[in-house]
């Protein structure tokens, strides 16, 4: 069996808690959580053509590095 690799700051316990959170949610709770994610005063969600995604990511990375 191969060892699992998690993103920085994650471990098996964290993944289990996240899974439990989402598996225990009702449909209404899930919708409310999704809608709340789009109400951020500091971020927005937009559609970007797939071929532009690398350039957008690069711009974001440059801004975060400043």
DSSP one-letter string for 6-47 = --TT--HHHHHHHHHHHHH--HHHHHHHHHHHTT-SS-----
**Considering the domain boundaries, does residue 7 fall inside one?**
no
Per-residue pLDDT, 14: 94
pLDDT in tens, 4-55: 788 888 999 999 999 999 999 999 999 999 998 888 888 888 899 999 999 9
The answer to the question of residue 56 being in a domain is yes
Residue-level pLDDT at 2: 63
Domain assignment present for residue 29? The answer is yes
The answer on pLDDT for 1 being more than 60 is no
CA 48 to CA 61: how far, in whole Å?
A: 16
pLDDT of residue 6: 87
CA distance 53 to 35: 23
The pLDDT of residue 3: 72
Q: Domain range spanning residue 59?
A: 12-65
* Number of domains composing the chain: 1
């Amino acid at each position: 069996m191969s060892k699992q690799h998690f993103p920085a700051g994650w471990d098996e316990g964290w993944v289990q808690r996240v899974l439990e959170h989402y598996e225990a949610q009702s449909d209404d709770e899930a919708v409310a959580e999704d809608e709340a994610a789009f109400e951020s005063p500091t971020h927005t969600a937009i559609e970007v053509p797939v071929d532009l995604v690398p350039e957008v990511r690069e711009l974001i990375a440059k801004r975060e590095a400043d």
